[in-house]
Structure formats: C-alpha cells, structure tokens
Amino acid sequence: MAAFEGPEYGEIEHTIPTDDARVARLSDMFRKGVSGGVVLDLGCGDGRAVDLIRSTGASYVGIDIEQSPEVASRTRSDEHFLTYDGIELPFDQGHFDAIYSNQVFEHVRHPDSLLQEIYRVLKPGGTFVAALSYLGRKLIN
C-alpha cells in the first residue's frame, strides 16, 4: 500500500525517487527545482533560509507557529515573518510557486492536514522541497 493515497497522490507520484537513496542536500535540491516566483519557507524558524531562497531570484515569505525556540531566537529583521496555527495556511489557493520546508514535519501534530494545505496553496505544477529527519536516517544495530 502506498504511503499516500487519494487523487492527489497520482499527481505527485512521478516526483518520488525510486532509483536509489543517495544523500542529497536540501539546498541543492531546492536550487535545482526553483527559479524565481514566490516561495513559502514553511517552518521558517530563525529565518536561516532567507538567503538561499533569495539566491534563486524568488520572493520570500516565511511562516512558523508563534511560539517555538527557533522563532524566539530569530534576529533577522530584513524580512517579514508570519505566524499560523500549525495547520491552516493563511493564503489563497495556488498562491506559491514553491514551498521549502527543512526539518519541520517531525514536529507537526497533524501532518496529513498540513500536506493538504501545502497542496492547496501551491500553484498547479508548483514545487515542494522538504527534508525530514525520520526519512533521512539509517539505523544501525
């Protein structure tokens, strides 16, 4: 049985690698997949991805929950950062060309709901690039 089911899965199935499990850096994957447009930094924390996202020529939008250690440590003042409830993204359907998310989903209480929101706010054919700790580990006994 597939990890994702439903009509949306058929639309993204071709984006899931099946050939190998090479280590890839999220920043490299992002640069290869994104060129310009409007990018959401989902779980932006302290804002460390601002420069990466800007380097692609994209406009930056950062969002995170209101209270987290990462948000509390933010010192950047060169961008406007938004907050949300952790589930419902406060944007119109099809608003973003790409969404970037680094080490966020392992902290999300309702990942299914957030994935539906990501799908909703991405433009058709948009790019979602994410890294998850629990998918990137090799456990050795």
pLDDT digits (tens, 9 = 90+) for 16-75: 666 655 666 778 878 887 888 999 999 999 999 999 999 999 999 999 998 888 888 999
CATH at residue 95: 3.40.50.150
| 11 within domain boundaries | no
Nearest alpha carbon to residue 101 among 115, 84, 82: 115
6 confidence band (pLDDT: 50, 70, 90): low
> Which of 140, 121, 111, 109 is CA-nearest to residue 41?
121
> Is residue 141 in a domain?
no
Torsion angle in degrees (nearest 10) through CA of 57, 126, 79, 51: -50
State pLDDT tens for residues 108-136: 888 889 999 999 999 999 999 888 876 54
Number of structural domains the chain divides into = 1
63 assigned to some structural domain: yes
Q: What was the pLDDT predicted at 2?
A: 46
Contact 8, 89 (CB under 8 A): no
The model's pTM: 0.77
Amino acid (1-letter code) at residue 73: S
Q: Is 83 helix (H, G, I), strand (E, B) or coil?
A: strand
